[in-house]
Structure 1
Amino acid sequence: MSDNTNPKVNRGPRSIGALIASVIAPVCAKRGFATADLISSWADIVGPRYATTTMPEKITWPRRDQAKAPSGATLVIRVDSGMAIYLQHETGVILDRINGFLGFGAVSQLKIVQGVVATPRKATVAPAPLSKADEARVVDTVASVESEGLRQALERLGRGVYGASRRS
């Protein structure tokens, strides 16, 4: 009977989440997050209005030796400049959502930092194919434009307009 207690022994396939967690954990810990759950669920927590214009940066926990330390942590949120004022007005609601997600009143303050929030690029939808009649109409409409670049841009616009009208 073999007693194999070596933790590095491959015990079969593992989920990608289990593998990524070991890589992400040190980065999250450095920024004050216990796990990556808050970051990965951010869009669900703040809702569609702030999902693409805000991003949690770090959590600052109060020091134990401070006499008048706040009761909870401070969450630093990066916000696109145009949305910062709106987020500031909804600080109470956002705090309630964050603490509701965490299950307890861990975060007592939000610190809003204005800056560019990198959002994942959305896949572009290919325009719908045009009928030969619509294609001919677009080309005939812009045929009198002398500038080659402008004519091509107007053709693309015309194809987009006709394609959008066919989709809806």
Structure 2
Amino acid sequence: MSQLVEPVVARKAGMSLDLIGAWPEIVGPRLEEGCRPEKLVWPKGYGDETTQPATLVIACEGAFALRLQHEVETILSRVNDYFGYRAVDKIKIVQRAVRQVRPNRKPPVGPLTASHRDTIREATARIESDNLRRALERLGESVLRRNAVRPKGDGR
């Protein structure tokens, strides 16, 4: 697949799939989900003996822009280390949505047994407010379902 995509990415964006693949290591975990390399803009006359370094255009979601600005020098250094020479001398940040599949951050939950339901009912039986009792029952169910999948001796 990469043999088909690589020439298109190189022609359209002026960069390789390897840079895109190495991006999380280049920017680190604080920035990887909010920005991505979009293209390398090479100056006119690219390929001549007097080739100037490129400008790396990075697409960035609004919330990450300030954080990215503070890391520009570090990112420039890491990108150039990746290439093995001074390939990039500027970074241009463009604000746009960076669509990535985000991992499911919900904790795994186990089944709620009849014993769990009885425990919750006993604990909330004397609460007079219906709204408060229902809220505490939902909280108890959530806690017990999460604890049902946690290994014994986890300490949390």
Root mean square deviation, CA, Å? 3.0
**Count of residue pairs brought into register by the alignment:** 139
The residue number in structure 1 matching 2:58 is 77
Q: Give 5+ residue unaligned stretches, structure 1.
A: 1-19
Q: Look up the match of 1:119.
A: 100
Amino acid paired to 1:102: F
Residue in 2 aligned with 1:136?
118
Distance 2:3 2:45 in 1: 28
Name stretches of at least 5 consecutive residues in structure 2 with no aligned partner: 151-155
| Residue number in structure 1 paired with 2:153 | none
**Partner residue in 2 for 1:8:** none
Cα shift readout 1:124-143 (whole Å, capped 9, x = no counterpart): 5531344543333446649x
Deviation at 1:165, TM superposition (A): 4.6
Distance 1:22 1:134, change over 3 A: same
TM-score, normalisation: structure 2: 0.73
Q: Which residue of the partner structure matches residue 161 of structure 1?
A: 143
> 1:1-168 to 2 correspondence within 5 Å?
20-29=1-10, 30-33=12-15, 35-64=16-45, 71-123=52-104, 125-130=107-112, 132-138=114-120, 141=124, 145=130, 155=138, 157-165=139-147, 167=150, 168=156
Q: 2:57 is paired with a residue of what secondary structure?
A: strand
Could you say if the C-alpha distance between residues 56 and 133 of structure 1 is closer, same or farther in structure 2, counting changes exceeding 3 Å? same
C-alpha distance in 2 between matches for 1:139 and 1:40 = 52
- What SS class does the counterpart of residue 86 from structure 1 fall into? helix
Between the aligned residues of both structures, percent identity stands at 37
Structure 1 residues 165 and 103: CA distance shift in structure 2, 3 A: same
